[in-house]
Amino acid sequence: MIERVLKAAPLGLLLVALAAQAEAPRTFSEAKKVAWKLYAPQSTEFYCGCKYSGKQVDLASCGYVPRKNATRAKRVEWEHIVPAWQIGHLRQCWQSGGRKNCTARDPIYQRAEADLFNLVPSIGEVNGDRNNFSYGWLPEKHGQYGACMTQVDFKAKKVMPRPSIRGMIARTYFYMSKRYNLRLSKQDAQLYQAWNKTYPVESWERARNQQVACVMGHGNEFVGPVDLKRCGRG
């Protein structure tokens, strides 16, 4: 039953149309407010495919078992696919005061931190466990989060996401790297090229790209073209 749910809803982002005049968020705080409106109030989160209603996760819907923090596991948090650390740690603002300083003072960092293409709803516990770890391959071990297929290796500082979101992760990294001049290591670039090829764009990802484009004013070219005339921006 769980496998059928995961395959039927690879990401489960049931998007709702926003007003055509909606503007791209300028800060992470604004982005989270827009994201709550952009995603349907009853949808599924990113890493495990759990259903959620409002800010509460239905753990039983995907067989999720909390690893350590049951309270955080029950709530939805907004996850940066490309972590804030990776976006900002080499910038001068980060060197002079960390993420808080970049959020307050660096316009380029602010735009990247608030980019809706890089934000997804996540189980809070998995969001916290992921930290700023990079994605990669791990030996398959089941049961870390019950039936959830995403794995975290704390010693190696690696996360292996469930198969159905790997392609989207790759294309988000390509987009963020190009738009905000973020360097990808040779190892990461090879990994994401492989995921992009192995897990091609599906209809749910195209729909998400179109809907997010209506707010951001542009699409993710690595997913495919968008029609801004459909949201009154053309």
pLDDT tens digit sequence for 150-171: 999 999 999 999 999 999 999 9
Give how many domains the chain has, as a whole number: 1
Tallying the residues shown for the chain, one arrives at 234
What is the C-alpha separation between 205 and 184, in angstroms, rounded? 23
CB 90 within 8 A of CB 185: no
pTM, to two decimals: 0.90
pLDDT, tens digit (0-9, with 9 covering 90-100), for 72-89: 999 999 999 999 999 999
Residue 227 within any structural domain of the chain? no
User: Is residue 156 exposed (0-12), middle (13-18) or buried (19+ Cβ within 10 Å)?
Assistant: exposed
What residue numbers bound the domain in which 6 lies? 2-218
Tell me the H-state helices in 89-165: 92-95, 98-105, 107-113, 124-130
CB 135 within 8 A of CB 152: no
